[in-house]
Amino acid sequence: MAVIKLLVEGGSMTPGPAVAQQLGPMGINMGQVISDVNTATAGFKGVTVPVHLTVNAETKEVSIKVLSPPTSELIKKELKIEKASGARLKQKVGNLAIEQVISIAKAKHDHMLSNDFMATLKSIIGTCQALGVLIENKEVKEVLEEIAEGKYAEEISAQKTDVNPEKQKEIDAYFATITEQQEAIKKAEDAEKAAEEEKKAEEATETTEEEKKE
């Protein structure tokens, strides 16, 4: 038995030399394996998913095990974004309702070491902080404090994942405002930087002119 570990985009695995080099010598039907993997990972479209192929070289049988995607990938999928924030303290990339966080926690819970759903939920919240994601229009620290005080207890206990349309609209509107503010700040910073570079260029030109006179 041989185990081949892959990272594939859900539903979109394509032929690659790494897999071909391992499956080819065993006489395994590469096209069939790719088709089967894409079927098994179709529910994770647009998400990078760990996949383990267990291959029996004698019988040519291949069993496919799809592991839970990284938490960061699930969060990005929920927010419909491709990249997280490179500067989480300055730039926020999204705003999740607590129900969406619960949904991600449910997807990860069976693959976590802890049997405590609250521990899984807090782990997801921690990843939100690392990625620059707000929850319920708030910073992660404030949300954790609210959870400790019992807020969202009903949603967490019921593991509610459906977001009320009105609430979703408010969540989106709040983040739209944050995005506008971030863009305004970045524009001001870029303008300041451009002015500094222009000043340095002028000073360099003046220095050159003075050297020519000498």
What DSSP letter does each residue of 4-65 carry, written as one string? EEEEEEBT-----HHHHHHHGGGT--HHHHHHHHHHHTGGGBTSEEEEEEEEETTTTEEEEE
Print the domain residue range for 81.
71-175
Give the tokens for residue 11: 């539903």
Residues 94 and 138 in one domain: yes
Residue 167 has pLDDT above 90, yes or no: yes
Whether residue 187 lies inside any domain: the answer is no
Q: Indicate the pTM of the whole model.
A: 0.72
Residues 75 and 167 in one domain: yes
Chain-centroid distance, C-alpha 15: 25
Q: What are phi and psi of 66, to 5 degrees?
A: -95, 120
Give the pLDDT band of residue 111 (cuts 50, 70, 90): confident
Whether residue 204 lies inside any domain: the answer is no
**CATH number of the CATH domain containing 54:** 3.30.1550.10
Task: Return the closest-CA partner of residue 107 out of 68, 72, 156.
Answer: 68
**CATH number of the CATH domain containing 104:** 1.10.10.250
How does DSSP classify residue 115?
-
Compare 199 and 111 and report the one with higher pLDDT.
199
Q: What is the dihedral of CA 153, 149, 165, 116, to 10 degrees?
A: -40
Residues 106 and 167 in one domain: yes
Whether residue 109 lies inside any domain: the answer is yes
Mean of pLDDT values over 38-51: 86
Residues 59 and 90 in one domain: no
Mean pLDDT of the chain: 88
Whether residue 85 lies inside any domain: the answer is yes
Percent residues over pLDDT 70 in the chain = 94
Residues 89 and 57 in one domain: no
> Of the spans 41-50, 52-61, 148-157, 187-196, which averages the highest pLDDT?
148-157
Contact status, residue 127 vs residue 94, Cβ threshold 8 Å: no
* Residue 10 to residue 49: CA distance in whole angstroms: 6
Whether residue 207 lies inside any domain: the answer is no
Residues 95 and 161 in one domain: yes
How many domains does the chain divide into? 2
